[in-house]
């Protein structure tokens, strides 16, 4: 008689979560976390119940970007209460480690931490849970797709060839994991001078659009490189919150509407 234990655990839904969406990038520094925090705030501003899980184990930046600090409480010693700001329910691996402490965990520990953040955090009822993944194609991505029922992925890239090449690897990974790709997001698309509004294509132009067409996936947003996007994130209030009427915030709101 076949043992039930012998069967590998398939992907499970996260309790209370309608849609689980991964935000991925092939390499670091392309603005994946900036997109994740602004998209989360834009979704919240639209009245959607949204959560953000910061699973970027190598550089968790959501506590800083969303202006959240402190250690999450665990009243029953089993489940963890998430944090909340700007209408976004959030949890970060950065809140479970000491600030400035490098995460040098090996694969199995990373997987345990991810599973805990997905399944033991009291997310409550959410329309969307966004997962800010570490860059690349490693253990965390594989674990997420294998353990949780992932509805789709957004892939963030800059127009530069090297970032595109890495993004292609990321897309290939999601194809192998049978996770649908919702679309590509081009970040640092054009530079808009905060002084005079002059536009310049610092990282080239049109690369992500061409790639999206080649792959047959939509290009969901072109986000400009703008000083205010960085300073607002650094200040703990994403631009969608700190300058909601700016054209830069509008790009993220349009993206939220397409999700």
Positions that interact with ligand ADP (CB under 6 A): 25, 28-34, 61, 187-188, 223, 225-226, 229-230, 233
Q: Is 162 annotated as a binding residue?
A: no
- Cβ-based nearer residue to ligand ADP, 82 or 238: 238
- Cβ-based nearer residue to ligand ADP, 80 or 158: 158
Minimum CB separation from ligand ADP for residue 226, in Å? 5
Q: Is 67 annotated as a binding residue?
A: no
- Cβ-based nearer residue to ligand ADP, 169 or 230: 230
Minimum CB separation from ligand ADP for residue 246, in Å? 12
Determine if residue 38 is left, alpha or beta; phi over 0 gives left, psi from -120 to 50 gives alpha, anything else beta: alpha
Minimum CB separation from ligand ADP for residue 28, in Å? 4
Beta-carbon contacts of residue 158 (< 8 Å; ≥ 6 apart)? 30, 31, 186, 187, 188, 203, 208
- Cβ-based nearer residue to ligand ADP, 89 or 187: 187
Provide the token pair at 170. 């990321």
Q: Are 30 and 157 in contact (CB under 8 A)?
A: yes
User: Could you write out the DSSP letters of every residue in 23-85?
Assistant: EEESSTTSSHHHHHHHHHHHHHHTT--EEEEE--TTS--HHHHTT--SPPP-TTSSSBPPEEE
- Cβ-based nearer residue to ligand ADP, 80 or 255: 255
Task: Centre a 10 Å sphere on the Cβ of residue 85 and count the other Cβ atoms it contains.
Answer: 21
Q: Is 5 annotated as a binding residue?
A: no
Minimum CB separation from ligand ADP for residue 230, in Å? 4
Q: Is 29 annotated as a binding residue?
A: yes
Q: Is 178 annotated as a binding residue?
A: no
Which residues are bridge partners to 219 per DSSP? Answer: 184
Beta strands in 193-235 (DSSP E): 199-200, 219-225
Q: Is 186 strand, coil or helix?
A: strand
Q: Is 249 strand, coil or helix?
A: helix
Q: Is 33 annotated as a binding residue?
A: yes
Q: Is 28 annotated as a binding residue?
A: yes
Minimum CB separation from ligand ADP for residue 88, in Å? 16
Binding site feature residues for ATP: 26-33
């Amino acid at each position: 008689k076949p043992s039930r234990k012998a069967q590998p655990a398939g992907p499970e839904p996260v309790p209370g979560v309608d849609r689980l969406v991964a935000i991925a990038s092939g390499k670091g520094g392309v603005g994946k976390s900036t997109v994740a925090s602004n998209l989360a705030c834009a979704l919240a501003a639209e009245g959607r119940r949204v959560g953000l899980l910061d699973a970027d184990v190598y550089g968790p930046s959501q506590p800083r970007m969303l202006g959240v600090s402190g250690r999450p409480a665990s009243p029953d010693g089993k489940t963890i209460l998430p944090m909340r700001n700007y209408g976004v329910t959030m949890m970060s691996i950065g809140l479970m480690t000491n600030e400035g402490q490098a995460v040098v965990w090996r694969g199995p520990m990373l997987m345990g931490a991810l599973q805990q953040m997905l399944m033991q955090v009291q997310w409550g009822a959410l329309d969307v849970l966004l997962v800010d993944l570490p860059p690349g194609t490693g253990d965390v991505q594989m674990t997420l797709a294998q353990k949780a029922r992932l509805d789709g992925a957004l892939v963030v890239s800059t127009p530069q060839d090297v970032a595109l090449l890495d993004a292609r690897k990321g897309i290939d990974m999601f194809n192998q994991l049978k996770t649908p790709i919702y679309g590509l997001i081009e970040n640092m698309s054009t530079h808009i001078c905060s002084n005079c509004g002059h536009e310049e294509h610092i990282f080239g132009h049109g690369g992500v659009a061409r790639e999206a067409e080649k792959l047959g996936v939509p290009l969901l947003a072109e986000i400009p490189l703008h000083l205010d996007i960085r300073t607002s994130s650094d200040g703990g209030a994403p631009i969608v919150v700190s300058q909601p009427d700016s054209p830069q915030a509008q790009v993220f709101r349009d993206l939220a509407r397409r999700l």
